[in-house]
A and B are shown apart, each in its own frame.
Chain A
Amino acid sequence: MQAQTNIDNLESQAAHEAHDGLEIEQLKPGQEAWRRLKKDKLAVAGGCILIAVVLVSVLAPIISTHNPNTVVNSNRLLPMGTPGHILGTDHLGRDMLTRLLYGGRISVAIGFTAVGIAMFFGITIGLLAGYYKGFFDTLVMRFIDILMAFPYVLLAIAIIAALGPGLLNAMIAISIVGIPYYARIVRGTVLSLREQEYIEAQKALGASDLRILFKHILPNSLSPIIVAATLDVGWMIIAASGMSFLGLGAQPPTAEWGVMLSDGKDFLRAAPHISLLPGMAIFIVVLSLNLLGDGLRDALDPRLKQ
């Protein structure tokens, strides 16, 4: 009876529904996040600085006027502002600006590559563990727990000790240290996503596990990963520089921020700029990454959606 009377409303209701659909602005979830990110001034500033740093690093051979590794004994320890060497020279007479630019290439490349590697393995492990659960999940996640129980830097040093010092090995080490972090995040999101009805619907439709994982689960678990990755690049840069500072990563005479910092520590009184400048460079890049990461987190967090 009741249903019968409601059928009369059908026409007007349908019209309402169609109207509602028209009123809403057409925005993909990604576009909406982008719009929110653009409003965040700090995040935009961070993004701009980061783009500038990446550009300058990539263009280092064109911009710089000197060779980063040419030793000129007559030009040792020139202060900042010297004509021809705007940022001075280090204890071997190498141009600081040139070395900073070339150092940026290595640091930025290491940061992004290490995060890329960590993400790749972390996401794969997290997806499989979260989706299939069971024995595989228990086995892998307990191992991840063990990795996480180590202090980050100590673990990285231990891995480098096993592999031998060097830029590549340092990168591998900090990548491995980063894997558990991503595996945890991804597994958590997958565990909640796999119970969603739209995933069940895909199963009912006969979709393969691969299709469900990569077409439906992965895109929906991306936002926490993006945020984590952005914040993590900064950490990886610090870790890589730290390894180099300790003599475990890039080896002298390579122009790398950590190596430069280490070189300058003996001349802190006479020529503080040798340590200060690479330190500032690390600080600025990591800060910009953190600002951008925080902005992304706010932009992608569905709880803040209006």
Chain B
Amino acid sequence: MCAEHYLEVKNLKKHFPVKTNFFGQTLSWLKAVDGVDFHLNRGETMGLVGESGCGKSTLGRLIINLLTPTEGGVYFENQNIYDLRGSEQKRLRRKMQIIFQDPYGSLNPRMNIGDIIAEPLYIHGLAQGMGAKKRVRQLLDYVGLSSYHASRYPHEFSGGQRQRVGIARALAVNPELIVCDEPVSALDVSIQSQVLNLLEDLQNELGLTYLFIAHGLNVVKHVSDRVGVMYLGKIMEITDSQELYGNPLHPYTRALLSAIPIPDPGLRRQRIILKGDVMSPIDPPKGCRFCARCPDAFDLCRDREPELVEYSVGHHVACHKVRRDAAG
């Protein structure tokens, strides 16, 4: 692990207590994020995919310090963000922002769009009065809305427009890193591409870094430079986008890739259908988390948890079978 990474996530864990006994002792834990390591380079888009409940949203919230981790750290420009307090913490908030999944829940229904976008300006004392109004107009313009939208209320907008407002609010503080928590999964397919293109344009214009969380590989393919695949709180495979789609190593990644629909009814292809359900993240047993559903699992998988190992440059996989195959 080299030190010059823009953002580095080290052994990050977040466990939620599920059951406590009468004396307040926790009997079982939900391990939403259970030891995640990866890094982000400045200006890139890193995709993070996984099924619902695999902990990717929790991971996103941990990275922008909306949640406090059970263990581990996130190093932003070589500083652990959980060590920052007071004004330093506030300064960090200006550098990292989040765009939420649900465009209906992420805007205060009692504030008009102008006030919603101006909130971050007031919080950080970036602009006031006319200056704030001007900045709001500029931000609305950035995200493809008109200045007359500022006096409207969220319920007057469509999902796509609301998501644009959410993006404008995040941009108000001039952030460097934006965590996009499934920003398009609640939108129509046609609107999805609009929002994705908007995000891409903004990245080119403002030099943003994205952590792009999604639950399907197809959306991520469109936007990401690198992709991480998550399963039950752990990263299973992480590599650059082309390598992942061209040469997937982890059985779970292969299964996910085979699930992407191809709009060609004549095409015959091999689908990998996973059997069984996602294991409960509450008190997972030892061994590989995926082994119960893995088509290639063998004894070792049920016994020891595989570690994330680099197989080629920047291609990390956590799988015993891949390791065995690589060893010959």
Contacts and interface: CB of A to CB of B under 8 A. Distances in A.
B328 interface: no
Task: Please classify the interface of chain A as helix (H, G, I), strand (E, B), loop, or mixed, using the class held by over half of its residues.
Answer: helix
B64 interface: yes
Nearest to A219: B110
Most buried by A among B109, B111, B194, B196: B194
B158 A14 contact: no
Given A29-B153, A205-B123, A205-B173, A2 B89 contact: no
Contacts of B96: 204
Given A9-B190, A220-B108, A206 B94 contact: yes
B190 A13 contact: yes
B42 to A, nearest CB: 20
A91 interface: no
Contact of B98 (A4, A201, A207): A201
Interface residues of A, number: 35
B189 A2 contact: yes
Nearest to A32: B155
Nearest to B144: A14
Contacts of B106: 197-198, 200-201
Nearest to A223: B110
A101 to B, nearest CB: 40
Interface string A50-84: 00000000000000000000000000000000000
Contacts of A20: 158
Contact of A3 (B144, B155, B169, B222): B222
A216 interface: yes
B193 A196 contact: no
B123 A207 contact: yes
Given A13-B191, A26-B152, A2 B263 contact: yes
A150 B197 CA distance: 61
Nearest to B161: A17
Contacts of B191: 13, 17
Contacts of A17: 158, 160-161, 191
B166 A201 contact: yes
Given A18-B146, A196-B105, 11 more contacts: A2-B263, A3-B193, A17-B191, A27-B153, A197-B101, A198-B106, A201-B98, A202-B123, A205-B93, A205-B97, A205-B119
13 contacts: A2-B263, A3-B196, A6-B190, A26-B151, A198-B108, A200-B98, A204-B93, A205-B97, A206-B89, A208-B123, A211-B123, A219-B110, A220-B108
